[in-house]
Structure 1
């Protein structure tokens, strides 16, 4: 899998190179930048302290929540092993500490008893 590095918000990100976004081993949707921008703004304004990104893929939303919104406890979860490796690489690239898990979404909630602000 080949990668390119991009910037979104205050985060640098390695994303897979593919002809179409749906063909990559790990999903990244550039069209959703505005959606992520708004999510980050809401988390920052309301002072969210915990967040989970259940289908994290590249980790972009989780990393931006940590870096830009200042969310204290962030979980980046994905069942795809390629995604988990990429989330770890992207967290390291940005010098951010997030909790990274490799579970299906329903498994994550079965194993986690805490609630989340986001």
Structure 2
């Protein structure tokens, strides 16, 4: 019985770690879209950019205003991209993928 309990604990721990890694990868994919755009290393896919913007704002709570009245609100300033990166480095261990809702969430501290 102890061996079965230990086995289940290891499997659940591994599963939780996998979910955290997947959540971190999803976060980095969304952040990477903006980092590449900032470095002009990517072509623009507006649907991807809108989705990445919403994802990052929802997860981090870090939003931004347009720097100039004629800027598209989709593209964040460099300082916001840096804030998102800093948020990730500080909170990446709190990210997890909710299998039931099929979304990335942040564990409460």
User: TM > 0.5 between the two?
Assistant: no
Larger Rg: 2
Higher RCO (C-alpha 8 Å, min separation 6): 2
State the TM bucket, normalised to the shorter chain: under 0.3
| TM superposition score normalised by structure 2 | 0.27
